[in-house]
Amino acid sequence: MSDLQELYQEVILDHNRRPRNFQVLEDANRQAEGYNPLCGDKITVYLHLQDDVVRDISFQGAGCAISKASASLMTDSVKGKTRAEVEALFRRFHGLVTGEDDPESASVELGKLTVFSGVSEFPVRVKCASLAWHTLQAALKGEGDKVSTE
Partner 1 sequence: MSTVTTAPARAVPPGALDVERIRADFPILQQRVRGKPLVYLDNAATSQKPRVVIDTVSRYYLEENANIHRGVHYLSERATRAYESARGRVQRFLNAADTREIIYTRGTTEGINLVAASYGRRLRAGDEIVISWMEHHSNIVPWQLLCEQTGAVLRVVPINDDGELGMDEYARLLGPRTKIVAMSHVSNALGTINPVREIVAMAHEAGAVALLDGAQAIPHLPVDVRELGCDFYAFSGHKVYGPTGIGILYGKAELLEAMPPYQGGGDMISSVSFEKTLYNTLPHKFEAGTPDIAGAVGLGAALEYVEGIGRERIAAYEAELLAYATEALSALPEVRLIGTAHDKASVLSFELEGVHPHDVGTILDREGIAIRTGNHCAQPAMERFGVPATARASLAMYNTRQEIDVLAAGLHKVIEVFR
Q: Which positions lie near partner 1, rule CB under 8 A? A: 1, 3-4, 7-8, 13, 38-42, 62-66, 68, 122, 124-125, 128
- 8 Å CB contact between 127 and 116: no
Contact 128, 36 (CB under 8 A): yes
* 8 Å CB contact between 59 and 44: yes
**Least distance to partner 1, CB of residue 6, Å:** 11
Shortest CB 129 distance to partner 1, Å: 12
CA 13/CA 31 separation, integer angstroms = 26
Looking at beta carbons only, is 16 or 114 nearer to partner 1? 16
* Cβ closest to partner 1, residue 49 vs residue 128: 128
Toward partner 1, which CB reaches closer, 41 or 101? 41
- Minimum separation from the CB atom of position 127 to partner 1 (A): 10
- Which element (helix H / strand E) includes 47? strand 41-50
